[in-house]
Chains A and B, each alone.
Chain A
Amino acid sequence: MAPSVWESARALRAAYAAGTLLPSQVIAAALDRIALRDPKLHAFLHLDSERARQEAVEWDGLYAQARRNAAGDTLPPLAGIPVAVKDNLCTRGVPTTCGSRILDGWLPPYDATVIARLRRAGAVIIGKTNLDEFAMGSSTENSAFGPTRNPWDLSRVPGGSSGGSAAAVAAGYVPLALGSDTGGSIRQPAGFCGVVGLKPTYGRVSRYGLVAFASSLDQIGPFARDVADCALLLNVIAGADPRDSTSADVPVPDFLGATDQPRHGIRLGVPSEAFGSGVDAGVAEAVRAALDTFDNLGFRVEEIALPTLDAALPTYYLIAPAEASSNLARYDGVRHGMRDGSDDLFEMVTRTRQRGFGAEVKRRIMLGTYALSAGYYEAFYIKAQKVRTLVARDFDRAFAQVDIVVMPTSPTLPFAIGERVDDPLQMYFSDIFTIPVNLAGLPGLSLPCGFSAGLPVGMQLVGRAFDETTLLQAGGAYQQATSWHLRHAPEA
């Protein structure tokens, strides 16, 4: 059977086990497609082609052996499945740039915990995907190595910061990818690219080896074309890690199994604030239609209030840059990455950082340094942390009433490349519905819910802490009733 680039990971896995498809065929097809299309799309910063091909051949043999073995298929869940990972996840001996010149040429001497878990699950990591520099951005235009384009319209952005991973899944390169989400960096590009993206509960997935942007908000999560594949990948990466003090020791349920078992009586809450001014009419229409679908499926839909929704964005733009200003202090030209030589230490450090960082990263370092500096700490940083408490309380109140909060993933459709680069505030506005979820540490699932002007629209389901299951069940039910997720980006 000729490999289809649109197969789900589950279907590939079944075909491998049945012997109707070989991992090496699938990997070869993926690499061919990337070679053909990526010069235009630019989803990848680095391809690990040789290693991927080698591993695929090894899996060919292991599957053949498994078929001869009476014990049956005991191979791991992602054996031979191609996966793309965002280039802010450390991969031992493989370039990890974070989309920044300052890390150009750096080869981490260790694997991130999620990378180790992917490898243990048999995944074939075919490459590192493009991102806004240090995950700071909403369009992937802030990559030092050039923007990624939206597979649905090459003149538009794929969203960001995990734009490369979202585009790689949407373009039919790979069925699965990993991204990271600090203020919407998985969900917003998933919405813009018409794929499924999940930001797990803070603490659900180990951050060890994820190059930090804002430590109290960062979380790694999966991209897939359907909810079940998303659940499959979440099962592989979730779970406590002794190397991450902030990974929670909470049992990991069978997410994949749960998506097959629709649950009745799930209550959906819709905040009126999420359909106010600034929300594109086509976006609002698609999300409202999706709510009707849920209603028809027997979900209860009711109105709720999130009064601090507006306050989340300014809160985030104090907390995240503050943490980032400290996290990014280590790029000083001493231990790794690039150095702009000088005989004077202060000059060496400032010039290295001046040349190594792009405009948005500098802007946020400046903002964060300012927010933490003497005289402003109370007025900005502490104040923001208190408002953060209020944002979390809003969600607590909502979840006393409903099981899921539904909002648009982003207020707008994918915008044109270059449209917002000179207006940081306008760019930040893109994450207005995703940011509150990070501040509260909750899980958020974005899934395709329609199209407007030929561009995908994403809807976001937000759940209680550590209750990704309910989101996946609702998302699974929605995808059984709809076909938005089955549409493919045009072959350009």
Chain B
Amino acid sequence: MAIDWATVEHVARLARLALTDEERERFVGQLGRILEYCARLDAISIEGVPATSHVLPIVNVLREDLPAPCLSRDEVLAAAPAHEQGFFKVPRVLEAE
């Protein structure tokens, strides 16, 4: 499974990772080898086999619509890298997405 530099760069953007040149180079090789290994699955027939996203045979786990206590704002903001007037603060978000 060949994976090229541009793909690594694209995936890194999707994953919000700012890779160094050295990392990008390394991932091209390593991810390629891992995916090549994963391509072994192609030898297995999966004709008519359903996908398992979950092993438990349970459905409909629901909670009643009852309000529960919230965290205190001090606790909430204690972990924030930056906050202001009770809000979490981030570098400006472009309004039109």
Direct contact of A and B (CB under 8 A): yes
Alpha-carbon gap, A392 to B61, bound state (A): 23
| A308 at the B interface (CB under 8 A) | yes
Q: Which of B4-59 contact A (CB under 8 A)?
A: 7-8, 11-12, 14-20, 23, 27, 30-31, 33-35, 37-42, 44, 46, 49-56, 58
Check: B96 CB closer than 8 A to any chain A CB.
no
Question: What are the residues of chain A within 8 A of B76 when measuring CB–CB?
Answer: 109
Q: Quick one: which of B16, B38, B42, B49 contacts A317, CB cutoff 8 A?
A: B38
Interface size on B, residues (CB 8 A): 51
Chain A residue nearest to B8 in the complex (CB): A366
Assign chain A's interface to a size class.
35 or more
B46, A362: Cβ atoms under 8 Å?
Answer: no
Interface 1/0s, chain A 426-453, versus B by CB < 8 A? 0000000000000111000000000000
Flag whether A403 is at the interface (Cβ < 8 A): no
Given contact pairs A333-B81, A387-B41, A325 touches B15 in the complex (Cβ within 8 A):
yes
21 A-B contacts, Cβ less than 8 Å apart? A203-B56, A246-B56, A246-B61, A311-B40, A311-B44, A318-B38, A318-B41, A336-B80, A336-B81, A344-B91, A350-B16, A350-B17, A353-B15, A354-B17, A354-B19, A366-B8, A367-B31, A367-B34, A386-B52, A387-B49, A392-B55
- Decide if A425 touches B34 in the complex (CB within 8 Å): yes
Looking at the assembled complex, report how far the CB atom of B60 sits from the nearest CB atom of chain A, in whole angstroms: 10
Q: Are A334 and B79 in contact (CB under 8 A)?
A: no
CB distance from B44 to the nearest CB of A (A): 6
Question: Smallest Cβ distance from A442 to chain B, in angstroms?
Answer: 8
| B16 near A370: Cβ-Cβ < 8 Å | no
- Are A107 and B79 in touch, CB under 8 angstroms? yes
With A386-B49, A387-B46, A390-B44: A424-B30 Cβ-Cβ less than 8 Å:
yes
Contact between chains at A338 and B58 (CB < 8 Å): no
SS class of chain A's interface: helix, strand, loop or mixed? helix
Contact of B82 with A by CB under 8 A: yes
CB distance A385 to B52 under 8 Å? yes
- A353 touches which of B16, B27, B82, B88 (Cβ 8 Å): B16
> In whole angstroms, what is the CA distance A156 to B38 when docked?
29
Q: Which residues of B come within 8 Å of A, CB atoms?
A: 3, 7-8, 11-12, 14-20, 23, 27, 30-31, 33-35, 37-42, 44, 46, 49-56, 58, 61, 63, 71, 75-76, 78-82, 88, 90-93
Q: Judging by beta carbons under 8 Å apart, are A248 and B56 in contact?
A: yes
Q: In the docked arrangement, what's the CA distance between A216 and B52, Å?
A: 10
Question: CB-CB contacts of A210-246 with B at 8 A, as 1s and 0s?
Answer: 0000001000000000000000000000000010011
Q: How far is the CA of A451 from the CA of B7 in the complex (A)?
A: 46
Contact B11 A369 (CB under 8 A): yes
In the assembled complex, which residues on chain B have CB atoms less than 8 Å from the CB atom of A282?
none
How many angstroms between the C-alpha atoms of A389 and B49 in the bound complex? 7
Of B18, B38, B75, B90, the most chain A CB neighbours within 10 A belong to: B38
| Chain A residues positioned under 8 Å from B53 (CB to CB) | 216, 385
Chain B residues positioned under 8 Å from A313 (CB to CB): 37
